[in-house]
Amino acid sequence: MLNKHYFPPISDRQINILLIKDTPDIYHMAVSRCVEALSANEKEKYARFHFDKDRRLFLLSRVLLKYSLAAYLDRDPGDIALAVGTHGKPRLADKADVAFNLTHSHGVAALALGGADSVDIGIDIEWSEPHNDFLDMGFKYFSQDEYRLLKKCSPDQQQALFYRLWTLKEAYIKAIGKGLSIDLKSFAFQLSDDRISVNHLKNDVENKKVWQFLQARVYTRHMLALAIRTHAGPKDGYGIRAFEYSPGRPCKPFMLKAVASSR
């Protein structure tokens, strides 16, 4: 059963980030109370996962998505039907103008859900862990300037910068919704102090669009990035708030430790 008062309201110029964490309690609540909100296809997918951790996070992210959208639209969670665009971006089957996007990584899922003034939203979360091939991956996926920046870093700073650029690039292509049909080297992020901006290397039409970004660390080792485009401009008082969701309980305000933003 959905208690919509458990979810924070969303005004027109508001974006809520809702987080859910895979813990034994939360998963148990989702299994016992929420599985019926999944469609037949989703139930089948849920049953098919090979790894338990993937099955759990799939269920938690679907519950987060369906219950949050149901509360926002004043519907039953079982009546939230999803469709996908040409490049795979999920949208509501019967109301394509509701802007939302989902991400999940290593036991955490995050949903960004925008009020009526939101046009495009993309969110990405990544568990940040040491690798010895950050430079190789940067060479493969990043623009020349981004790669140069990564190469200049000390090994200590390289991991943090890699995940910052990676999540921003993912959030941005997820917001545009065209997936990896966009060349990841065709745009470059600039990070100076606590500011974020993006520059298209060839496409001036894209450069005229006004994007806003937010980047934050969540929990111990997740990096999160949000990309948004709105009808109202960045100076029009757009609010971004974050909450933790747990099935059957009121959402709790969550303090984002912002690394940087474009606001």
Ligand X SMILES: CC(C)(COP(=O)(O)OP(=O)(O)OC[C@H]1O[C@@H](n2cnc3c(N)ncnc32)[C@H](O)[C@@H]1OP(=O)(O)O)[C@@H](O)C(=O)NCCC(=O)NCCS
Q: Give the binding site for ligand X (CB under 6 A).
A: 61, 87-90, 101-105, 124, 141, 166, 169-170, 173-174, 177, 179-180, 184
In the complex with ligand X, the residue whose CB is nearer, 21 or 169, is: 169
Sorted by sequence, the CB contacts under 8 Å of residue 201 that are 6+ apart come out as 143, 185, 186, 187, 188
Nearer to ligand X, 90 or 107 (CB): 90
Minimum separation from the CB atom of position 170 to ligand X (A): 5
Tell me the closest approach of the beta carbon of residue 161 to ligand X, in angstroms: 12
- Closer to ligand X by Cβ: residue 104 or 222: 104
* Closest CB 113 distance from ligand X, rounded Å: 12
Tell the smallest beta-carbon distance from residue 215 to ligand X (Å).
14
Class of residue 160 by CB neighbours under 10 A (exposed 0-12, middle 13-18, buried 19+): middle
- Min CB(69)–ligand X separation in Å: 12
Q: Which is nearer to ligand X, 56 or 104 (CB)?
A: 104
CA distance 128 to 222: 6
Q: Among residues 5 and 17, whose Cβ is nearest to ligand X?
A: 17
Nearer to ligand X, 140 or 152 (CB): 140
Closer of 3 and 95 to ligand X (Cβ): 95
Amino acid identity of residue 244, one-letter, is E
CB of 173 to ligand X, least distance (A): 5
Query: Do 4 and 229 touch, CB atoms closer than 8 A?
Result: no
Residue 91: beta bridge partners? Answer: 83
What's the min distance (Å) between Cβ of 156 and ligand X? Answer: 21
